[in-house]
Amino acid sequence: MTRQQYDLRERPARVRAPYAQPDPVGAAGGDGTFALDLVRVTEAAAIAAGRWVGHGADRAGEIAASAAVRDYIMRVPMRGVVVLGDDRPDGSPALARGSRVGDGTGPECDVGVSAGDATLSPARDVPHAITAIAVTDRGGMFDPPDVPMQKLAVGADHADVVDIHRPVAENLRAIAAVTGSIPADLTVAVLDRPRHRKLVHDIRETGARVHLLEGGEIAGAVAAAHPDSPIDVLMGTGSGPDGVLAAAALSCLGGSLQAILRPDEAEGSDGSARSGRAAERVLRTEDLVRGNRILFCATGVTGNELLRGVGRCPDRMTTESTVLCSDPATVRSVRSEHRPSAAGRHRADEE
């Protein structure tokens, strides 16, 4: 049995550029029902990964989450194609790009999957580990090359005042000015990597607080636009697929993601400015995901500002998820209790 509670916040839908599709996402049964089918996938993956947190088994949680995603996503009523997946050379369970997913009914759509928004530490719980799925109309999801992506993510109130080409201090002053505050009142999420040493220094020079993300950056980007999060902005360089998944969430929240592909970013770089950056193309939210309807689902594996991690009780497990829809613009918080049935599977009895 799965017990679910919903916290619904309705928001006006954003005005989008025309991008017509004959069979939009969610056409069968409505976005709400379709999104809840998807969240069962991220819940199953989070539970599978959560069993391995802190056990010291390298990649075991990631592999278990990938297997759970592949199992559960095939039951979702859609005709999906994986655009952002997990191509593994070692033969472990994965969802390769171009794979067909869903039960063969329902809408045609692009699918992006992150079976673990963080590499789970073999020694301890890593904050900000989530499992996530994004779905757009077919052809609506950007397939990034395998190069690092610099990102600047903010909420709806700050979408029009930031520019990824500007210095850190200018952007933080612009964000603070919107609410009549100062940079010292802001919290900036940054992926905890050696390449971000200079970025962290520049942020702290303005007086702003730095929140280091030890795991992945999807949760941090979503938190920058989420109404219940203390994060004001996400900055830094990470992976392209994470950027696209984050853009799907921000699109539903009315937030903004600006990104630049960085093929010259070497591992261990300090993130210092490079010549010619002003001429590089900025990818915006609508370049990364587009379409009449966009959905994003994520479930916490380990705790963060956005979601609680998987909880364990003697007779059940608990999960917390966020479900975002673009049209109508809706934020759903889903807390579930999972009790194993006689067959050992999770069944959903929605309250």
For 180-238, write each residue's pLDDT tens digit.
999 999 999 999 899 999 999 999 999 999 999 877 789 899 999 987 788 999 999 99
- pLDDT at residue 346 tops 70: no
For 20-70, write each residue's pLDDT tens digit.
333 344 443 456 688 889 999 999 999 888 787 766 666 677 778 888 898
Higher pLDDT among residues 149 and 119, named by residue: 149
pTM above 0.75, yes or no: yes
What is the average per-residue pLDDT within 128-142?
A: 91
Please check whether residue 218 is in contact with residue 242, taking contact to mean a CB–CB distance below 8 angstroms: yes
Is 2-139+291-338 assigned to CATH 3.30.540.10? yes
Residue 30's pLDDT is what? 53
Is 149-288 assigned to CATH 3.30.360.10? no
Distances (CA, A) of 309 to 61, 224, 305: 14, 19, 10
**Would you list the domain boundaries of the chain?**
2-139+291-338, 149-288
Q: What is the mean pLDDT of the chain?
A: 80
- pLDDT at residue 166 tops 70: yes
Question: 3-class SS at 201?
Answer: helix
- Residue 195: partners with Cβ closer than 8 Å, 6 or more residues away: 237, 265, 267, 268, 269, 270, 271
Residue 272's pLDDT is what? 46
Residue 214's pLDDT is what? 79
Greatest CA separation for the chain: 62
Higher pLDDT among residues 271 and 249, named by residue: 249
Place of tokens 């915006």: 284
- pLDDT at residue 84 tops 80: yes
Q: How far is it, in rounded angstroms, from Cα 150 to Cα 25?
A: 29
Q: How far is it, in rounded angstroms, from Cα 235 to Cα 203?
A: 10
What is the average per-residue pLDDT within 318-331?
A: 88
What is the average per-residue pLDDT within 125-148?
A: 86
Residue 269's identity, in one-letter code, is: S
Q: How far is it, in rounded angstroms, from Cα 102 to Cα 71?
A: 10
